[in-house]
């Protein structure tokens, strides 16, 4: 299911008939069609999630907004992933002044709160979906660079890297063909875990008016529009908020699963005695008896091996 959502997010920026508003309209209703005679209609068979202040169907707008949210998560994380891997690997491999220059610059960027920096970038570039991709892509680069740098530092002195240097391979080939692929595990886990945070951040920007602009449906903008009618029409805010919660929780659970599967060092295995069965349980009747070195074992006396175990007649052998 997560793979299908990721594919939809990647292709949502392309105006294909299979993934645009026409498909959503054919399935249920037009997410942008207004009907002022049907304002704040409660959930019903015709409108399973009710309608908003302009009579627009909330369900179709939630579905349409999922394209924006997932596209922001995937594309922004992709920009951060590529930029962070390149910066972190270069800084760690060359070290010295190059390392200091790259990492100190990224630390300055990392010290600024993400939401404040995103608001600043959106104010400079203008509110649009594509600027939102770029803003959160730039914000996430320092985190990925730090993870990639630590991985490259632990791998650059490995034996296969020394063998590649001895073979005369170019520095770029050694770095991006030998070292980087072996250090991507932690970065991939970081990417999956950060998708939830990017989706929340994009929803926050839209809620504040810096993100996706109306009439385009987005979860954050829907929450902003619904805050005026929380008492009389709570469904207009509950369903977009629920979608944000479920999406972020799903990506966090996916990240935890990938971390356990790809990095065994973070997994603490504990035996489940109910699954192992009674044969593995220690009992008093089956305690292992340690052999006694004097009475049960063979002893050495002056270079001659003497077996002190009693024989059948009661004497020593």
Q: How do residues 67-109 score in pLDDT, each as one tens digit? A: 888 888 889 999 999 999 999 999 988 888 998 999 999 999 8
pTM to 2 decimal places? 0.72
Question: Of residues 257 and 142, which shows the higher confidence score?
Answer: 142
For residue 199, give every residue at least 6 positions away whose Cβ sits within 8 Å of its Cβ, in sequence order, or none. Answer: 69, 70, 72, 73, 244, 247, 248, 251
Q: How do residues 235-294 score in pLDDT, each as one tens digit? A: 888 999 888 888 888 888 877 777 777 765 555 455 554 555 555 555 555 444 445 555
DSSP state, 266? G
Q: Which of 3.40.50.620, 1.10.3720.10, 3.30.1360.120, 1.10.3210.10 is the CATH number of 48-262?
A: 1.10.3720.10
Q: Specify the pLDDT at position 17.
A: 38
The H-assigned helical ranges of 95-234 are 96-111, 114-125, 129-139, 141-155, 159-166, 171-173, 184-208, 219-226
Q: How do residues 165-212 score in pLDDT, each as one tens digit? A: 888 888 888 888 888 888 888 888 888 888 888 989 888 888 888 888
């Amino acid at each position: 299911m997560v793979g299908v959502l990721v594919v939809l997010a990647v292709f949502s920026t392309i105006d294909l008939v299979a993934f645009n508003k026409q498909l959503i309209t054919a399935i249920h209703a037009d997410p942008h069609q207004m009907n002022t005679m049907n304002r704040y209609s409660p959930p019903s068979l015709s409108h399973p999630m009710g309608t908003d202040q302009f009579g627009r169907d909330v369900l179709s707008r939630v579905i349409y907004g999922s394209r924006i949210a997932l596209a922001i998560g995937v594309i922004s994380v992709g920009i951060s992933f590529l930029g962070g891997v390149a910066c972190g690997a270069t800084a760690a491999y060359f070290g010295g002044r190059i390392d200091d220059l790259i990492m100190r610059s990224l630390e300055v960027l990392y010290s600024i709160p993400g939401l404040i920096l995103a608001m600043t970038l959106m104010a400079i570039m203008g509110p649009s979906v594509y600027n939102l991709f770029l803003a959160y892509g730039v914000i996430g680069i320092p985190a990925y660079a730090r993870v990639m740098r630590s991985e490259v530092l632990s791998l650059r002195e490995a034996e296969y890297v020394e063998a590649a240097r001895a073979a005369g391979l170019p520095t770029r080939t050694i770095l991006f063909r030998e070292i980087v692929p072996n250090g991507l595990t932690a970065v991939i886990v970081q990417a999956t875990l950060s998708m939830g945070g990017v989706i929340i951040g994009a929803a926050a920007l839209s809620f504040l008016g810096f993100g996706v602009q109306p009439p385009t449906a987005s979860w954050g903008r829907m929450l902003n529009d619904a805050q005026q009618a929380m008492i009389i029409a709570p469904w207009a805010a509950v369903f977009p908020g629920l979608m944000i919660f479920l999406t972020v929780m799903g990506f966090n659970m996916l990240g935890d699963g990938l971390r356990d599967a790809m990095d065994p060092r973070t997994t603490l295995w504990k035996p489940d005695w109910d699954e192992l069965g009674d044969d593995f349980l220690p009992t008093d009747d089956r305690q292992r008896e340690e052999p006694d070195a004097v009475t049960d074992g063979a002893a050495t006396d002056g270079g001659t091996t003497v077996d002190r175990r009693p024989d059948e007649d009661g004497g020593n052998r």
